[in-house]
Structure 1
Amino acid sequence: MANYRASDSKREQFRRYLERSGVLDTLTSVLVALYEEPDKPSNALDYIKLHLGAAGPDPADAEALRLELADLQQKCNLLLEENKTLKNRLLQYEASPDEAAA
């Protein structure tokens, strides 16, 4: 009988811990949202992961972002080169201090 009470005590401590940390409220809200979903998802676990924020990015989205990043880095490098070229051209047309005095 003493073993049973010790087990109940540990469960109760764990339940209080989950309550204090907000786990019970979060899980309850996600499960309620799943329950109220008119079209139930085919994979309930993925739904729960998504709504808890545990699901990673979609591979297609990640690949699209990688491609966009590479494109933007290339554009940035081209603009830096153009900026450098234009600065050099501007320096050629600006009067040097010796020419301005004459």
Structure 2
Amino acid sequence: MAHYRASDSKREHFRRYLEKTGVVDSLTSGRTLIFILQPSPSRFVKQHLGAVDLTSADTEALKQEVSNLREKCSRLEEENKDLKARLQQYEPASEGGGTAN
């Protein structure tokens, strides 16, 4: 229970610090301006805080790239498995512990 109270105390101290330094007032004023000036607050945040606004074409291109990379990864994993199996035919099994992977 003491840990819980210490956490509340730290939270309260931080809240007072934010109020004292004017951060709370600045955030409140900024939020009010967003709602007054912008019909879409989310658009304002995206435009002014660096969020990227992807088009559906961008999204589709990225989905296709992910799909292609997954297929390539799968092919490479299969090739790796095949090459390891072929390598085992030419190398004798190690005695006394095996190999570390």
TM-score by length of 2: 0.47
Say which structure, 1 or 2, has more relative contact order (CA 8 Å, 6+ apart): 1
Structure with a larger share of its residues in helix:
1
Answer with 1 or 2: which has the greater Rg.
1
